[in-house]
Amino acid sequence: MFAGKKSMIITTTDSIEGAVIESYLGVVTAEVVYGSNVVKDMFAKLRDVIGGRTSSYEDLFRDGQKKALEELEKKAKGLGGNAVIGIEVDTGSITIDVTGTLILITATGTAVKTS
Output the domain CATH number for residue 96: 3.30.110.70
Residue 99 lies in a domain: yes
pLDDT the model gives residue 2: 42
- Give the C-alpha separation, 70 to 113, whole Å: 17
Along the 115 residues of the chain, how does pLDDT read in single tens digits?
Answer: 344 456 899 999 999 999 999 999 999 999 999 886 544 555 455 555 566 666 777 888 899 999 999 999 999 999 999 999 999 999 998 888 776 778 899 999 999 999 9
Residue 51 lies in a domain: yes
Cα→Cα distances 31→5, 13, 51, 67, 111, Å: 28, 21, 30, 9, 16
Residue 2 lies in a domain: no
- pTM recorded for the entire structure: 0.78
pLDDT the model gives residue 39: 47
pLDDT the model gives residue 59: 84
Cα 66–chain centre separation: 6
How many structural domains compose the chain? Answer: 1
Q: Which of 24, 19, 9, 11 is CA-nearest to residue 111?
A: 24
